[in-house]
Structure 1
């Protein structure tokens, strides 16, 4: 039992530390979002040109000008925006100097009649200027990152580039506005900048550890008490048997009497 509690305690402590690590990471990510999204937009190539969209560039506003490549448009399924479920529409944009960049044009709420099979709102034709946030690649299994029949679950420029045989810039741009304006899609909301449930989860794991240790102490204490009681009972029984064996035989006085007894 002690070994089991030790193993479980170590596992639960590690789980609590993991939740604290996730809390720290979430706070760092929130700080990056708060700092970056309020900055003025810059040209996309200064952050995404020949470099990867690292965590420090996340949610930096950028602008890009080019023409939408609607032939390689993708519907990103199983997405949410606030309380709404639906999909997002990713359309590559081609700049004048020939760079290809994925642009998440916005969110499309699921239709109550057609579900995700509804027609996608068209991208603006001609030269378009898009303003949006830098986003890094979303990672997952190939079944989620590789597009199939114009649909995909995660936005990963490397996987989409291999499927399209096009060299896309790393990451993608989540559009907030564009000129000329588009219709039928809404920009993605910023993530909730809170700590999430990680601190409460960590406290729960540490509490479970304390409960296990205290419970082990109570069980051991109860077992020791039971053993002492059993030993005391055995001692009393042995003492009683010893006393009984040591007593001399006493005549009962009910046997036949002799004449001398009558006299």
Structure 2
């Protein structure tokens, strides 16, 4: 029995060793994912501090050519002076805000002495008919000084397109915007409105600060921790199941042994010679008395 127990103990110690090694590996991978997450957080915060809240620079300084765009300048505020082409306003469909459906309002801005820069003036909710806003606040008339944050143009969304015969488009795909407005536009970037002077009495809801997205590193970190904990939980479950099955086997063996002992006692009683009174009782039972 002691040899069996020793063998079982060695087996479970081996299993425990494998689980510990697996958990250590998971710990290293979780630490690596967390380090990557923190590195990206630092980069994103630096980007927002250096760009989002930076002082505005002239548009032609940040974007020297119509088709140029530097990804490092995303969110950089740029300033320009010119006039809005309000009659060429476009609405970008399916842009929810706080769970409410709505549209982004794009207005071409004719830069003084230059070309057209597309300005996203903000968000408006859907109207009563759900297909268009009830009202789109008009931009200021005449010469306006605009400050907007740079964003790259958006790609096409599969087969989604705008609504024919309307001023609605599916995404800020600048090639489609170019086909709908007059003049040559900046084809690689557009701007999210920060401010405009003079300021109108009413305006769309301005875009909020960007959400920090560091990718999947944080979720991978959680997954590796769960794998490590799950390995110990699985080992404990298997250990309990084996003990339970062994207890049931031992209980069944004890029952079989008891039945064997009882059968042996009955056999011995049957083989033992009967006393006179026992024989007499059997004869009376057989006669029905």
TM-score greater than 0.5 by the shorter chain: yes
Q: Which one of the candidate residues 77, 80, 83 is aligned to 1:67? A: 83
Matches within 5 A, 1:1-263: 25=40, 28-50=43-65, 52-79=68-95, 86-96=102-112, 98-108=114-124, 116-139=132-155, 141-142=157-158, 146=162, 148=164, 149-162=166-179, 168-169=185-186, 170-186=188-204, 188-191=206-209, 205-206=223-224, 208-210=226-228, 212-233=230-251, 235-236=253-254, 250=268, 251-254=271-274
DSSP-derived class of the 1:212 partner? helix
DSSP-derived class of the 1:119 partner? coil
Q: Cα 1:234–1:118, aligned 2, differ >3 Å: closer, same or farther?
A: closer
DSSP-derived class of the 2:108 partner? strand
DSSP-derived class of the 2:55 partner? coil
Q: Which has the larger radius of gyration?
A: 2
Measure how far apart 1:16 and its partner are.
Answer: 11
Alpha-carbon contact 1:156-1:171 (below 8 Å) kept? no
- TM-score, with structure 2 as normaliser: 0.61
Alpha-carbon contact 1:72-1:92 (below 8 Å) kept? yes
State the alpha-carbon separation in 2 of the partners of residues 217 and 205 from structure 1: 18
Q: Cα 1:18–1:158, aligned 2, differ >3 Å: closer, same or farther?
A: farther
CA RMSD of aligned residues (A): 4.6
Alpha-carbon contact 2:178-2:185 (below 8 Å) kept? yes
The structure with the greater share of residues assigned to helix is: 2
- TM-score, with structure 1 as normaliser: 0.66
Q: Deviations over 1:158-200 (max 9, x none)?
A: 343356597532121122223444342156244266689x898
Alpha-carbon contact 2:157-2:170 (below 8 Å) kept? no
Q: Deviations over 1:57-77 (max 9, x none)?
A: 122111123333334311234
Measure how far apart 1:43 and its partner are.
Answer: 1.6
Alpha-carbon contact 1:139-1:145 (below 8 Å) kept? no
State the alpha-carbon separation in 1 of the partners of residues 228 and 117 from structure 2: 52
Q: Which shows bigger deviation, 229-238 or 125-134?
A: 229-238
Alpha-carbon contact 2:30-2:225 (below 8 Å) kept? no
Q: Cα 1:241–1:124, aligned 2, differ >3 Å: closer, same or farther?
A: closer
Gaps of 5+ in 2: 1-28, 278-289
| Residue number in structure 2 paired with 1:11 | none
Measure how far apart 1:213 and its partner are.
Answer: 2.7
| Residue number in structure 2 paired with 1:10 | none
Q: Cα 1:151–1:18, aligned 2, differ >3 Å: closer, same or farther?
A: farther
